[in-house]
Structure 1
Amino acid sequence: MQTSPASDDRPQAALHDLLRTVPRRYRSPLLPPDLDAAVAAGTEATLAFAIESARAAGERAAPMPAALGDAFTAALAALIRRAMAPDGGDPVFQAQVLYSRDAQVRDWVQVESTAPVDARAVRAAVDAFAHPGKLRDMPEGARRDALSHLHALASAGEWRALALEAESLGALSIGNDAALHTLVRDLAKHPALQRRITAEAMTALEAVRHYRALRARRVPAAGSDVALDQGRAAAREGAQAEQAAAEALGQVATFLNGLEGGERSTYRVLRSLLTPRVLSGGGDRSKEEWDAALVRSIGGGLCDVVLLAEVKAAPAAVTSDMPRLLRGLARLAQADADASFAFASVDGPVRLRGRSLRALAPLGPSLPAPVIYLCPAPAESRPTLLGAAAKAVLLSEPASLGFACALANGAAPPHASLAPVWEALPHEPRLRATLNQYDTARRAREAMLYTGDLLAAVSQAGSMRPRQSAP
């Protein structure tokens, strides 16, 4: 039997009031009131102000003052100079610039890009005739020892030594086995092995060594102990953030169930909901896994989503996540209001009514009221006006790299040479996220709650709830 609409009013109103009372400690700082104030506030404030002004002007189809573009290029030039500083600069950007300037670095990056595939190909070629399982039945002696040594060299990634050994063996008659002789001879000339040897030799070049050192200062090598430790730490932080969010939403469910009265638990929390294929995106990278949802049972095995929560371990992560979240919500909102849809979750399958999914439709570029972000991290002491992703995009523009290359060559390029970045900003698809970066961050952070604040708010609301008198 379905719950009557009247019985739903009180808990739903209480949930709305509860979310309204939770402070928004992650709100974006205000932009400077005008260009002069932005310039006085510094490089990042100037860039953020100019970018947001360009976005707003585009919405109004209004022209942009020349002074705005001049301030933008001057600030971008200052950002590039700071990133190129030998001490305290940005090593990742410096590596980009070195890649742009040096053909040897570009050649090494290209040959290194196939490293995992090439290593697998070489080891597969060696396994074809020298895998320990194949050697087990081979008589002991020089041939078996030589093949075992080849396998050991391949396993250790000793590419040059492997090629030399294979070439040496290929020049000999290996037990009058013509097929084996051909395999060993061909191994020495294997294209993948030759690429591994070339890449290995190129790592000794000064430019390549410098490039690798710059990258390692900010991006540890894949598979390294540092990279693995960072990955494990990030996974732990994410899991802890999701656990804290689920516990907070569990308290909200308990509070709402108390308002329902009786012993039936109408509200419950589900973790890691997966969008069913019938509602999922078609390669647009829309979000399809939802960290936590508060659902209300309406009877007949059906539920409504009343609150959807995405969890971030750090507040800065919401800016890049927001576009995917909005696309995912738009997909859910295409549901047939009169149908129900099966979602898998960590806490078991659930059938959600289409009309509750349609209530999750984005409000333009903003999140609807039933969708929030939860974060366990304290608010930043000085939240940035210009996100790291936006800075990286601006620095990666061809004109920015050209400006940086000129600096590296000892020149003093004028900031006006960065005008192509400003001119491309309003209309180039590759710069759309950067153009919207402040507006996106502002809207996302407005919907972001500190997990502890939500717990405190529900605790206070529960303490103020009138006790039911005994019958």
Structure 2
Amino acid sequence: MSSSALLLESILRDVPRRYRLPQDVAASGMQLRQSSPATALALVIEQVREATAHGATPDPALKPLFIDALAAMIADAVRADSGDRAFQAMVLRHRAAQVREFASLSAQADQDRRQIHAAVNAIAHPARQQRAPQAWQREALEQLHSSASRAHHESHYAGLHNTLRTLLSVPDLAAKDADIERALADLLDSPALARLCRLETLASEPLVQQYTSLLDAYGPRPGTPAAVAQGRASQRRGAAVEAMAVQALEALAQTLNAAQENLQAYRVVSSMRVPAAIPGKHERAKTEWDVVLLERQHAKSLDTAPVWNVRLLVEAKASVESATTDLQRLMRGLRLLAHAEENVVYTFETQQGPVQLNGASLRAQGTEESGLMKAVLYCCDSAAESAPRMLNAASRMQLLSAQASLEFASAQWDGQRADPEKLNAVWEQLTQSPRWHAVLHQYATLRLVRELMVHPDDLMATIRNATGRSRCTANEQTR
């Protein structure tokens, strides 16, 4: 192994892992009851996973601990003063038919609006208005287009419905223009318009208003200006973390080049896109890597373009949670790279231009944990929590949104005593259903993500320390 390769391995081994979780999660019943409900659930679930992984039956004592912890987490989530507004909205949707209908119509509303917009433009686009031969036609089309525009901007499709009825009530419209009458009638009878009008009617229902109030308190709804602004802020944050990761890897490349005594041995590229030429499933796999450290392959001829080997893949994330949801996509991305043919050179597009990568080095990117520690990093600049959250957000929501959990919460909503035995169904799903695989493995996933995660400042400090040691060694050898 070359001196630079040993140095890289040393840096990756020495960089602090401030986000790391403990591997051993064994805990007594008393310790579990003293933990927060979410932490207790995470610990119980991990003990179930470990038993299952070893072919053993989970300890029967874990079941009541799981049910008690889940019941406590639900009770916390439905509290009016400090609960989880998203879960409360979910419970309200479970309880009230009109809220369920409103939620269902809301999910389709954007598509319905686009359909109505397209239908109105097909009839009454301003260009069509100008081509209409009769004044009454131009007035009718302008009235329809204006009404549709108001409906779109003010969410008042009942007004568009009334406009259509008014236009269709014009005496002898069929005799004047059968095509316009047929188009107006089709629009009036369209299921999309009926759904949008029904959505507006439901919006005035008290329970629906309570539901939307809960959603608004949780955070901006998709498509709203606030949600767009939040998305842009998140993108800026992600770009800032990526810039820090690039800076750290540039310093790493310089350090490795100095150790190799070759200023062109290592380089860094960003936004590296996987070419379609690599066989395998690209769908749902990571096909663009944020920052990549490359090592130049020994050239047989100075006239040929340099070929590079992948030495480190880095993904920049603004939070631990975003990395946790990204891990499966990252693993599929590694499996995709492993489909590269060993003796083929592939062209990857990057922010710095095209680079030629050796297929053998792509195939070497394994998915075993020991290999990942030497080949992949998540870079994150979030502060490390003193008490890390051990139950990830997706698993928590799947536990809360189980039918039995919603029924348990609904009973508590009414002030009744909810029977914890209802939650036995969630335990059975967790221990038996393939759909709960991600929840069962959630702590192992979270632990791996945090094991791969480093802070850019820690990486930079480790690189500086390694550089200092290398200089001292070089000075001693010179003497």
TM-score over 0.5 (shorter chain) = yes
1:5 aligns with: none
1:375, 1:451 within 8 Å by CA — same for their partners in 2? yes
1:32, 1:38 within 8 Å by CA — same for their partners in 2? no
The answer to whether the aligner puts 1:183 opposite 2:183 as a matched pair is yes
Distance 1:366 1:339 in 2: 23
Aligned with 2:372: secondary structure? coil
1:171, 1:185 within 8 Å by CA — same for their partners in 2? no
Q: How many residues align?
A: 462
Aligned CA distance change for structure 1 residues 241 and 140 (closer, same or farther; 3 Å): farther
Q: What code does the residue aligned with 1:328 have?
A: G
Q: What code does the residue aligned with 2:4 have?
A: P
Aligned CA distance change for structure 1 residues 400 and 36 (closer, same or farther; 3 Å): same
Q: How far 1:248 moved relative to its partner?
A: 0.8
1:376 aligns with: 381
1:204 aligns with: 204
Aligned with 2:27: secondary structure? coil
Q: How far 1:427 moved relative to its partner?
A: 3.2
For residues 210-267 of structure 1, the C-alpha deviation after alignment (integer angstroms, 9 at most, x for no partner) is 11111122241222121011101101001111111111101111111122225x4121
TM-score by length of 2: 0.91
Q: How far 1:280 moved relative to its partner?
A: 6.0
Q: How far 1:283 moved relative to its partner?
A: 6.8
Aligned CA distance change for structure 1 residues 113 and 205 (closer, same or farther; 3 Å): same
Aligned CA distance change for structure 1 residues 397 and 284 (closer, same or farther; 3 Å): farther
1:367, 1:443 within 8 Å by CA — same for their partners in 2? no
Name structure 1 gaps, 5 residues minimum.
Answer: 1-7
1:170 aligns with: 168
Q: How far 1:343 moved relative to its partner?
A: 1.9
1:349 aligns with: 354
Q: How far 1:51 moved relative to its partner?
A: 0.3
2:141 aligns with: 147
Q: How far 1:444 moved relative to its partner?
A: 1.7
For residues 357-404 of structure 1, the C-alpha deviation after alignment (integer angstroms, 9 at most, x for no partner) is 122111169724111111122212321121222111111111111211
1:270 aligns with: 269
Name structure 2 gaps, 5 residues minimum.
Answer: none
For residues 296-317 of structure 1, the C-alpha deviation after alignment (integer angstroms, 9 at most, x for no partner) is 1113431100111111111233
Tell which deviates more after alignment, 99-108 or 135-144.
135-144
Q: What code does the residue aligned with 1:17 have?
A: S
Q: How far 1:463 moved relative to its partner?
A: 2.8
Distance 1:165 1:125 in 2: 15
2:45 aligns with: 51
Distance 1:316 1:180 in 2: 54
Q: What code does the residue aligned with 1:26 have?
A: Y
Distance 2:201 2:278 in 1: 51
Distance 1:149 1:181 in 2: 14
The answer to whether the aligner puts 1:9 opposite 2:28 as a matched pair is no
For residues 58-108 of structure 1, the C-alpha deviation after alignment (integer angstroms, 9 at most, x for no partner) is 011212222210011011001011111111111111111111111111222
2:16, 2:454 within 8 Å by CA — same for their partners in 1? yes
Aligned CA distance change for structure 1 residues 233 and 414 (closer, same or farther; 3 Å): same
1:229 aligns with: 229
1:130, 1:151 within 8 Å by CA — same for their partners in 2? yes
Which of 413, 435, 448 is equivalent to 1:430? Answer: 435
Distance 2:279 2:115 in 1: 36
1:4 aligns with: none
Distance 1:225 1:450 in 2: 32
Aligned with 1:104: secondary structure? helix
Q: How far 1:338 moved relative to its partner?
A: 2.5
2:295 aligns with: 296
Distance 2:195 2:241 in 1: 44
Aligned with 2:79: secondary structure? coil
For residues 301-347 of structure 1, the C-alpha deviation after alignment (integer angstroms, 9 at most, x for no partner) is 31100111111111233222222222221222233322222222222
1:159 aligns with: 157
Tell which deviates more after alignment, 51-60 or 286-295.
286-295
2:104 aligns with: 110
The answer to whether the aligner puts 1:25 opposite 2:18 as a matched pair is yes
1:46, 1:75 within 8 Å by CA — same for their partners in 2? yes
Identity of aligned residues (%): 36
2:460 aligns with: 455
Q: What code does the residue aligned with 1:37 have?
A: Q
2:279, 2:339 within 8 Å by CA — same for their partners in 1? no
Distance 1:315 1:280 in 2: 31
1:169, 1:185 within 8 Å by CA — same for their partners in 2? no
Q: How far 1:291 moved relative to its partner?
A: 1.1
1:321 aligns with: 326
2:21, 2:450 within 8 Å by CA — same for their partners in 1? yes
Aligned with 1:269: secondary structure? strand
2:67 aligns with: 73
Tell which deviates more after alignment, 50-59 or 292-301.
292-301
The alignment's C-alpha RMSD in Å is: 2.2
2:338, 2:363 within 8 Å by CA — same for their partners in 1? yes
Tell which deviates more after alignment, 375-384 or 234-243.
375-384
2:365, 2:371 within 8 Å by CA — same for their partners in 1? no
1:332, 1:358 within 8 Å by CA — same for their partners in 2? yes
For residues 26-83 of structure 1, the C-alpha deviation after alignment (integer angstroms, 9 at most, x for no partner) is 1125646333212222322321111011000001121222221001101100101111
Q: How far 1:284 moved relative to its partner?
A: 5.9
Distance 1:367 1:429 in 2: 26
Distance 1:280 1:226 in 2: 41
